[in-house]
Amino acid sequence: APRDSAQLTTLLRAAPAKVMERSGSGAVQMSVQQNAAKANVSIASDDSKSEQERVIVKNSTTNQYVANKNFFNQNNVWTDADYSPNAKLKEVTVRFGSEEYFDLVHKDAELARYFALGEEVVVVFRNTVFRVTK
């Protein structure tokens, strides 16, 4: 963490000059950092946590990256970014905690990682959409 603090201090000292740059690597780096900051504007406000911890909390409540897949939380359903209702893939609906649910979890550890996101999950796995429901 001290190394990160030193890097942050260096970055903050250089920021005013970099903001003025219109081209070059400094301008590109500043643009990337500004865009990242904009994406995290609505972080959860908890004064007991550092800004970095609050950003992590916000990101983890809206998206998760699990076993090379990105999931978004939409209305309390973790939905695979690869999912498209127009894809016309075979769908398997499984009730969370059911015998069928546990059969699938025991048969395939990778699928178990996706299911571990929560009680409601939509994942595209081996050309099949698995929909876990309450």
Q: Is residue 10 part of a domain?
A: no
Q: Is residue 90 part of a domain?
A: yes
Q: What span, in angstroms and rounded, lies between the C-alpha atoms of 131 and 129?
A: 6
**Tens digit of each residue's pLDDT (9 = 90 or more) over 9-62:** 666 666 555 555 566 666 666 666 655 554 444 444 455 556 555 544 455 678
* Phi and psi, residue 70, nearest 5°: -105, 130
Kindly give, in sequence order, each residue whose CB lies less than 8 Å from that of residue 29, ignoring residues fewer than 6 positions away.
18
Q: Is residue 119 part of a domain?
A: yes
How many domains does the chain divide into? Answer: 1
Q: Is residue 51 part of a domain?
A: no
Q: Is residue 44 part of a domain?
A: no
Show the domain range for 72: 63-133
Q: Is residue 77 part of a domain?
A: yes
Characterize the bridge pairing of strands 63-66 and 77-80: unpaired
**Tens digit of each residue's pLDDT (9 = 90 or more) over 77-117:** 999 999 998 988 999 999 999 999 999 999 999 999 999 99
Reported pTM: 0.56
Q: What is the pLDDT of residue 66?
A: 86
Q: Is residue 85 part of a domain?
A: yes
Q: Is residue 26 part of a domain?
A: no
